[in-house]
Amino acid sequence: MSDHSSSSPAQSGTIGWLERERTVAGAGFNRWLVPPAALAIHLCIGMAYGFSVFWLPLSKAIGIKESIKCGPDVSFLQELFVTDCDWRISTLGWMYTLFFVFLGCSAALWGGWLERVGPRKAGVVSALCWCGGMLFSALGVYWHQFWMMVLGSGVIGGIGLGLGYISPVSTLIKWFPDKRGMATGMAIMGFGGGAMIGSPLAAMLMKNFSGPTEVGVWQTFVCMGLIYFVFMMGGALGYRIPAAGWRPEGWTPPPSLTEDPMITRGHVHVSKVWGIPQFWLVWMVLCMNVSAGIGVIGMASPMLQEVFGGSLIGVDARFSALDKTQLTAIAGVAAGFAALISLFNILGRFFWASLSDYIGRKTTYVVFFVLGGLLYASVPGSAAAGSQLLFVSAFCIILSMYGGGFATVPAYLADLFGTQMVGAIHGRLLTAWATAGILGPVVVNYMREYQLSLGVPREQVYNQTMYILVGMLVIGLICNLMVRPLAPKWFMSQTELAAERALAHEKANLTAAQAIAPADGPKTPAIAAWGAWLAVGIPLAWGLYRTLLSAYKFFDR
């Protein structure tokens, strides 16, 4: 990237409004306008979790009522280009994998660029990639070219995911030095909630657009791409960064914060993190926590059905003995279970990240690994005893900690590596997510198949897997306990820090009085903050309502 440190907004031409200098907040700016801007982006890109709602309709895009299956001689590569037969669901599932692989890779590659150009420009690029990818995918569905979907949503959309995911992290941490965990928890809660809004919206749109010759997917892609673009651009334009040296009015770091050896007052350059042991320890912490949770998310519905079988609908019969009507009935119950754990995944992001502000990040992860390990180990026992309450409760708490791990790690990184380049460092750490996105499902799915091949009854095929997941959490616990404060050699000198801030176009010449006294100047009207929160709160409330309706199916038996 070229060095823009000497350019001014006036010299930047028609895109001056994207430059970092234009995003520095004036005195009196209300910092509570920034979280809804982050939520507007995260609620849109979070639809990546809900893309499976398209798989079944897409598997019948040509046949409409029934899939026109490709011949056994059609390979995966040929399936990218075929136009006379329908895609297999297993083929479509690669889109989900690509999302998180490219999320991690793009966040790692362009995290440093994001820190220098600011969150607004990164948010705009994210909107163009994510929404443009959906529109390109719509053409792929219309022309029945799977390679266009892979390139559109999987690759281009995945890049938008990565940039959109990390765009608010550094900004929120700087705006909320007193509540780092809570601030990042709010934004990353939005990513978990994206599918909560997007999935029912997509289902409604597909139902509206479907007909005798259409499954309604490409039209839905177009509508959602345009809707998301409006929200994401609104979020990107709503981003503001605090002036250098700013801190909340009347706030000074408490002694417990300044004296905590796990909270640094230095700043690490992103180029150094690959060589720092603590980075790799936190990398393993996130990878093990995510691997254990993400495999369970993907298998939640079939796992509940196979373990409890007919008892889910009051029938004394194993899963394999149920007829088609009974299988349909227990599938509805399992869908309620999936909605329930999705809700805990979302709420856990805010709850655990906020709690970490009080008990510390390291302690929070100790809770995740110790409590999570005990709960995973309890699952075979509760399944054997036929206790649906204990089984479901265990997974609800486990999934809350899975989401909490995502939301707590940005604050953990800020504590260890400083705030100057935490967004870029977080981007590199997300390669752990990309790894876990492959490792977790492979362990759960292949262990299930292996157990079935040995003749293990369906209700017991997950027992061994639970103990493997316990082992993953033990590895994560050990890595977390090994995390220590960084040695001074890793931090930037004052000269290096000043040079980096110059590259980032920060206003380094502010006086201390200007930086610390946000009350000087016009205050942001309260109605602006209320309007911003309503803009994201209304769709979030609607998604929560739809999720609770689905979760109710589990209890309405």
pLDDT at 2 over 60: no
Q: What is the 3-state secondary structure (H, E, C) of 378-403?
A: HHHHHHHCCCHHHHHHHHHHHHHHHH
Is 220 found in the same domain as 95? yes
Give the model confidence (pLDDT) of 447-472 as tens digits: 888 888 888 888 888 888 899 999 99
Alpha-carbon span 229 to 122, nearest angstrom: 14
Alpha-carbon span 188 to 406, nearest angstrom: 7
3-state class of 56 per DSSP?
Answer: helix
Query: Out of 119-128, 279-288, 325-334, 378-387, which region has the weakest mean confidence (pLDDT)?
Result: 325-334
| The predicted structure's pLDDT at residue 461 | 84
Alpha-carbon span 48 to 157, nearest angstrom: 9
The residue written with tokens 């499954």 in the block is: 215
Average pLDDT, stretch 439-453? 82
Using alpha carbons, select from 132, 129, 123, 155 the residue that is nearest to residue 423.
Answer: 123
Question: Of 247, 278, 304, which residue constitutes the final position of a domain?
Answer: 247
Is 217 found in the same domain as 320? no
The residue written with tokens 């939005």 in the block is: 190
Is 310 found in the same domain as 236? no
**Is 508 inside any structural domain?**
no
Using alpha carbons, select from 152, 132, 161, 146 the residue that is nearest to residue 58.
Answer: 146
The domain of 300 spans 258-492+551-557
**Is 369 inside any structural domain?**
yes
Ranges of beta strands (E only) in 91-219 are: none
408: left (phi over 0), alpha (psi -120 to 50) or beta: alpha
Is 262 found in the same domain as 243? no
Is 270 found in the same domain as 225? no
Longest dimension (CA), the chain: 76
- Higher pLDDT residue, 95 or 161? 161
pLDDT at 516 over 80: no
| The predicted structure's pLDDT at residue 11 | 39
**Is 521 inside any structural domain?**
no
Tell me the CA distances in angstroms from 469 to 75, 126, 364, one per residue in order.
34, 34, 19
| The predicted structure's pLDDT at residue 77 | 84
| The predicted structure's pLDDT at residue 477 | 98
Tokens encoding 356: 């970490």
Give the model confidence (pLDDT) of 189-215 as tens digits: 889 889 889 989 998 999 999 988 899
Average pLDDT, stretch 27-33? 89
**Is 406 inside any structural domain?**
yes
**Is 267 inside any structural domain?**
yes
How many domains is the chain partitioned into structurally?
A: 2
Question: Of 218, 247, 276, which residue constitutes the final position of a domain?
Answer: 247
pLDDT band at 258 (very low <50, low <70, confident <90, very high): low
| The predicted structure's pLDDT at residue 3 | 40
Is 333 found in the same domain as 457? yes
Tokens encoding 24: 């520095």
Q: What is the CATH number of the domain that holds 97?
A: 1.20.1250.20
Given a contact cutoff of 8 angstroms between Cβ atoms, the answer to whether 171 and 186 are in contact is no
Is 310 found in the same domain as 187? no
Is 314 found in the same domain as 419? yes
Tell me the β-bridge partners of 214. Answer: 211
Is 134 found in the same domain as 170? yes
Is 358 found in the same domain as 271? yes
Mean pLDDT of the chain: 87
**Is 88 inside any structural domain?**
yes
**Is 534 inside any structural domain?**
no
Is 449 found in the same domain as 316? yes
pTM given for the model = 0.86
| The predicted structure's pLDDT at residue 534 | 95
**Is 386 inside any structural domain?**
yes
User: At residue 63, what are phi and psi to the nearest 5 degrees?
Assistant: -70, -20
| The predicted structure's pLDDT at residue 154 | 92
Given a contact cutoff of 8 angstroms between Cβ atoms, the answer to whether 107 and 423 are in contact is no
Is 299 found in the same domain as 175? no
3-state class of 468 per DSSP?
Answer: helix
Give the model confidence (pLDDT) of 372-418 as tens digits: 999 999 999 999 898 999 999 999 999 999 999 999 999 999 999 99
Question: Of 199, 218, 247, which residue constitutes the final position of a domain?
Answer: 247
